[in-house]
Every structure is written in structure tokens, then in C-alpha cells.
Amino acid sequence: MGSKKSFVSLAFTYKNLHFLQLNAAKTGVEQYGTVDLPANLINNYKVADKTALIKILKEIWQNFRLKEKTVGIIIPEFSTFTKNITLPLLEIKELDEAVRWQAQDFLPLPLEQIVMDWKIIRKADNNYQVLVVAIEKEILASFVDAVGEAGLFPQLVEIPSVALSRIADAERTPKLVIYINSDEAILVLAQGEEIIGSSVVNAADNEGILWTAISLCKHYHDVPIQRLEIGGLKFTQRLIDNLQQNIGKPAHWIQPNVSGLASEQIQEYLLPLSL
């Protein structure tokens, strides 16, 4: 993102909250840690027990003596809707109207119940390729309000697929990114900043992860995969071998160049690092 401002990254899964702060130069980790979340604190995509989360956040800042109050938040992938759409070359205001008009076709809720953001990711053939990310207002507010009521200042909110497509590979070649944490496997077919397709699978379902990876590549067969990028702590060697054999590319571990973490810890904290 190139942001010079310091902030603490908060990455939520259904079971854990990872937090991490880089130094001002973004080259080394100053503080990091993981807190197990009580069962059902995050339920039905949103924070179900705001009081408990506020208490946890206050304890983190106190116990780790964190001075920085500005935070960035990564929320679970399942909480959002993402879609790539093609629109004509319009002025920005007209483009915003066109995005919202087209979004009504694929969003399950009325626009007044949705918070939506979009970004031009490519200009080609007299069209814009636009990435649309949308989330139910109530879901977004459940995270942002809890963080705010803990005395912190949310600066940005992001989802894992966007974070992973950015950190996985600086090249603009098409890539399949697979990240597996304790809860879920996130698969992203991306080219540069353009998310072409994504899917979420139960982390324990290795066959499902393999099948989904193959299906993504087949469905988007006109996008020739150049790289297979993997990250997280839940890969088995058998899954890696099967992925390499079926995708036809060697697997590369996502390995950002930062100091202060061992290689295994980098895999554990990939999402907050990317933010």
C-alpha cells in the first residue's frame, strides 16, 4: 500500500486474532501476537459478543504496551462479496453510479444495507476492469464499532484475498495463491491487483482445496497460470505435491522480506504483515 503511517494490523479469523506492528520503514516487526477468541465471539460472519472483543483488545494494548492507536483490520473472507466487473470508460462519478447499478444484480441485499468499495484494476479494449468489494453494514459495524469502543482508531478494512494477491508476488503474471490458516483455505486467482476469482474452503478438507484449485484454473482457462504461491501453516506435503502435479507449476512459499520473525512465524502472520 506504500503507507508511511504507522498502524497496528488486526487480522481476524473465527478462532484467533493476530496483531502485528512493523517499524516505520516497514522492514522489521516491532510487536506481534495471537489471542484465541472465545467460541462464537464471531458468529454468522459478524462480532456476536462486542463486550468480550473490546475487553480482549484493551488487554492486548495494555499487556504489550502498544502506543499506536491507529489500526488496520482484516476481516474473514466469508463476510464479504467480491466481483470483477467490466464497465465502459466513464467519468469517475458516472462510473460509481454504474458500479452501484450493476452491483444490484449480484448482491443479495439492497444497496442501502451494504457498504461497497471499488477500484479500477485495469483499462483494456475501451473498458475498465473494476474490482468490487461489498459487505453488509451490520457486519462491518460489528468489527469497526468494537475496535473503536476499545479506544482505537480504525484506518482501513480489508479482506484476505485482496491482502494475499498483493503480498504473494510483485509481478503482474497470473498466479494462483492458496493460503491455509486454522479455519479456512483461501484460494485466489489473481493478476497484479486484479482478483480474477476466489473461493473459501474448510482448512481440513485437503481434497476440497485441491478440487477447488483445479476448478478455478479450468473455469478461468483463458488465464494461463504462471505461478503457484502458497502460505500458511496448514499445508501437508501431499497437498503440495498434488497441487504441483495438477496445476503444473512449482509451489513457491510466500516469504516477505522482514526481520523479527522466524520463517514459520512469517507464515502464521502473513495476513497482518500484508496489511
The burial of 48, by beta-carbon neighbours within 10 Å (0-12 exposed, 13-18 middle, 19 or more buried), is given as: middle
CA distances from 2 to 5, 53, 275 (A): 9, 29, 10
Round to whole Å and give the CA distance between 272 and 275: 5
Round to whole Å and give the CA distance between 274 and 257: 11
User: Residue written as cell 495476513?
Assistant: 271
Buried-exposed string 12-28: b where 16+ CB fall within 10 A, e elsewhere:
bbbebbbbbbbeeeeee
What dihedral do alpha carbons 196, 269, 236, 13 form, nearest 10°? -70
Name residues whose C-beta falls within 8 Å of residue 14's C-beta, 6 or more positions apart in sequence: 37, 42, 76, 183
Report percent pLDDT > 70 for the chain. 97
Round to whole Å and give the CA distance between 64 and 51: 20
Round to whole Å and give the CA distance between 240 and 250: 9
Residue 152 or 88, more confident: 152
Question: For residue 109, what pLDDT band results from cuts at 50, 70 and 90?
Answer: confident
Q: Each residue of 81-96: pLDDT tens digit?
A: 888 888 888 888 899 9
| The residue count for the chain | 275
CA distances from 45 to 32, 118, 140 (A): 25, 21, 10
pLDDT value at 187 more than 80? yes
The grid coordinates listed for 265 are: 512465524
The grid coordinates listed for 21 are: 506492528
Position 170 scores a pLDDT of 61
pLDDT value at 2 more than 50? no
Alpha-carbon dihedral sign for residues 94, 80, 155, 177: negative
Other beta carbons within 10 Å of 101: 11
Question: For residue 169, what pLDDT band results from cuts at 50, 70 and 90?
Answer: low
pLDDT value at 76 more than 50? yes
pLDDT (mean) for 37-47: 90
Q: Please tell me what DSSP assigns to residue 130.
A: E
